[in-house]
Amino acid sequence: MGHAGERAGSDPETLETADPFNTEGLDSKLSFVLGRYYERNFGGPAAWEATQSIRFDGVLNVSGGRFPFVAFKKKPNLCKVVLFTPGGGRIVSAYDGSDAWALNTSQQNGQPVSMPEKEAQDFIRDASFFGHLVYPKLKSKQIEILGVTRVEDNSCYEIKITLPNGAEILSFLDTASYAERKIVATNASTGQQETIIFSDFREIGGVRFPFASVKRAGGEMIHRVETTQIQLNLGVMSWMFQRPAGAYVPGLLSAPVDRSEPARETLPPAQGSGRFGEDRWTVFPDPEQSGNPVPNLLNNSVF
């Protein structure tokens, strides 16, 4: 995975030195919209500089049940998601800036493995700090306004982002609040378009975050994410995102307490083998059938 970052169009050195809010030379309308987006969502350059890392605690709702998770992001593009499974197990997906890896403590004797190529493409794509609308002048990156449309009951600017590797993402910004209400991207593994709708926006440390999201593909709901807590600058270190040298060793990180109400919207039937011995755990696919040794149940694009 040495060149995974290049395949995903991510260049950490460039991200570390570039201006995340520079719109000089862009179309005047696009520059205006992006300027408002940066101002309303990030509180200006001071809040951006002060925010170096983020921890997300929450619950993933799928048809097989509710699963606590903890996720971390660190500038410029480091990301790690830990999903807690029955019996104390964990499913980990991570990117340290050059290596995309995964781990399922119930498989491979607890050994981390390279993330499958196409899953890595999606995971690295969405590992960037604060999404795809920052760094608009990044080399070979293109952003354009396609028009105004509606997302549920909200009027939104439809913005197309083309990343340096050619991947295309649609972002929908509320024309009044400039909150990002929706993103659309193509899953590299399935070829399906995936849509994520964001809601329940709250401000943490001068930065706006959605605390709820729903992901759909092919007309069906895939999952719902309920974020219960977001914390900034907790001393997250770069080494935390690196692939472990040996087998998994349980650490101090524990599953967040789920005090939220269960999701009420109906989810489609899960696909899988029921390897945990109960029907409600069939959300976890059989790795021999899927070809994926560590199922990536929670894509980091929801953060």
- Residues 129-175: tens digit of each pLDDT: 999 999 999 888 999 999 999 999 999 999 999 998 899 999 999 99
Q: Are 179 and 164 in contact (CB under 8 A)?
A: no
Q: For 177-210, how does the pLDDT look when each residue is reduced to its tens digit (9 = 90+)?
A: 999 999 999 999 999 999 999 999 999 999 999 9
pLDDT at 303 (0 to 100): 63
Which sequence spans correspond to the domains of the chain? 4-139+199-292
236 confidence band (pLDDT: 50, 70, 90) = very high
Residue 295 has pLDDT above 80, yes or no: no
User: How high does pLDDT run on average in the chain?
Assistant: 82
Residue whose token pair is 């990044």 = 138
Is the full-model pTM beyond 0.95?
A: no
285 confidence band (pLDDT: 50, 70, 90) = very low
C-alpha to C-alpha distances, 200 to 92, 220, 228, 247, 256, nearest whole angstrom: 26, 21, 11, 39, 20
Q: For 18-42, how does the pLDDT look when each residue is reduced to its tens digit (9 = 90+)?
A: 889 999 999 999 999 999 999 999 9
Residue 264 has pLDDT above 50, yes or no: no
